[in-house]
């Protein structure tokens, strides 16, 4: 389990490092003509490394931590479905071409010149995609409460919580006072109950 945890931690650290403005700026300076493919390559690398670690995780023996119970299966299924629904709705509120990297291939660095998104689910929480992923992870863990699943879910939740802080810093630099006002109006991850 230690090796698995180290792999997930290294994966998320690399994922965060490659998303920093410092790394992006260095790559843009070093290879300006190739930089338009950075986001696309970043996403491809993320997917392939993720799949490789999942494959390794599935090869490990997994001890079940909770007994089978219909209520856990129902709750897990509900959380999983809610997480997928929130994540899909969140992604629909963004420029998918920018998110995936295709817009950068066509338009270069100017593809990032999108306005602050405050509509849709972004009116409820500042990071609806992360909220969806947290719900999805809770559902996965309740459906498959195993040792290996716990390592994955624990590392992923930690990454989302830390990654949200890093994302907030980037958004503050990018949008300045507009983002400060947005932070004051809209909660970060958990919706306010009226």
The domains of the chain are located at 2-185
Angle between helices 2-19 and 147-175 (to 10 degrees): 10
133-167 pLDDT, tens per residue? 999 999 999 999 999 999 999 999 999 999 999 99
The closest alpha carbon to 79, from 145, 166, 163, belongs to 145
What is the pTM assigned to this prediction? Answer: 0.88
Give start and end residues of each alpha helix (H) in the chain: 2-19, 21-30, 38-59, 70-92, 96-100, 102-107, 128-143, 147-175, 177-185
Helix or strand or coil: residue 125?
A: coil
Q: Which residue has the higher pLDDT, 182 or 93?
A: 182
Phi-psi region of 132 (alpha: psi -120 to 50; beta: other; left: phi over 0): alpha
């Amino acid at each position: 389990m230690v090796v698995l945890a180290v792999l997930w931690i290294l994966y998320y650290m690399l994922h965060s490092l490659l998303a920093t403005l410092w790394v992006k700026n260095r790559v843009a300076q070093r290879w300006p003509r190739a930089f338009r493919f950075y986001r696309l390559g970043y996403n491809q690398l993320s997917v392939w490394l993720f799949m490789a670690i999942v494959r390794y995780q599935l090869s490990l023996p997994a001890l079940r931590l909770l007994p089978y119970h219909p209520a856990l299966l129902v709750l897990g299924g509900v959380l999983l479905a809610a997480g997928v629904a929130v994540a899909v709705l969140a992604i629909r509120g963004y420029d998918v071409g920018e998110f995936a990297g295709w817009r950068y291939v066509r338009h270069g660095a100017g593809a990032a010149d999108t306005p602050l998104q405050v509509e849709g689910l972004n009116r409820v929480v500042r990071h609806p995609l992360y909220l969806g992923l947290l719900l999805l992870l809770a559902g996965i863990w309740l459906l498959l409460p195993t040792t290996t699943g716990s390592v994955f879910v624990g590392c992923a939740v930690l990454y989302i919580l830390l990654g949200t802080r890093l994302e907030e810093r980037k958004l503050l630099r990018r949008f300045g006072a507009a983002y400060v006002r947005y932070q004051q109006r809209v909660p970060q991850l958990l919706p306010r109950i009226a």
